[in-house]
Structures are given as structure tokens and as C-alpha cells.
Structure 1
Amino acid sequence: MTKGKERIRFDCVGTLSEPHIYKCSVCDHEFRGEIGVTEEREHQLHCPQCEVAERITNHPKKFEVVGVIENAS
């Protein structure tokens, strides 16, 4: 959970380190997420509902980026 107010910029793609809202292409589940970094320094994203996972280099192929979440203090 984030503290304070937040703003969602729809139809925007931020950096890998920013939290986003993603939509899974397999089950259509929308979820908030940050791309995790594994021990091998690979960027990983997975759907919490159907457990589809993907290694990310630039933009995800199995997930649609709905928007970027930014804190609005």
C-alpha cells in the first residue's frame, strides 16, 4: 500500500522501477505491481491470479500496461 494520495496516469509507460497497473493477457486480471528483480538481476513480472510470469527487458509482452502510479503529495 502507498501512503498519502496517488495519481494514476493512464496510457503512460514509466520506468521499470515505477509502480504500474498491469492487465494480464491470459486472464484479463488488472493488478498493481512493480517489476521485481531476482537474484540473477533479471526483471520479473507475474500475475497474482493465474501465476503467468515473464522476464522483462523493455516492455512486457504478456501484460498490458494500463497506467503509471505516481504519488501526489
Structure 2
Amino acid sequence: MRVIPSDIPDILTMNIEPDLLDAMLRKTGLGFICGETGSGKSTLAAALYRYIQTHFPDRKTVTYEDPVEYILGRE
């Protein structure tokens, strides 16, 4: 049985290069986060989702993951 973390990290504390963060925050488009098992994909996606919902509340974001790693949604 897997424990789902309740805390989503702040993307600004994850040492992501500014150019990469800018690319992930484009106004339109489709983005993929890919990598090996255990490489931080779900953590990055959750942090990005939280940042977008906080700073760009008018944007729509859809995630698909299996298994679910974080509970996402409006607070």
C-alpha cells in the first residue's frame, strides 16, 4: 500500500533553471514530464500544478497519472 504525501513542495525551492520554468509556464500548449521511476516526475508535476493554480487561476490543467502520487485540486 502506498502512502500519498499531503505536502506539495514549492517549485521555486526545487532549483529548476529559470529557462525550464519559463518553458513549463507557457500560456498554451501541451507538456510532458518524463523520466525514470523515482526521478521526481510526480513531485515536479505536483509542484508545477500548485504554482499554476496559485499564480494563474484562470488556466486549466489536466493531469493523468497511474498510480496517483499527490492529491491535487483547488484549496
TMscore range, shorter length: under 0.3
Q: Where is the strand percentage greater, Structure 1 or Structure 2?
A: 1
Q: Where is the helix percentage greater, Structure 1 or Structure 2?
A: 2
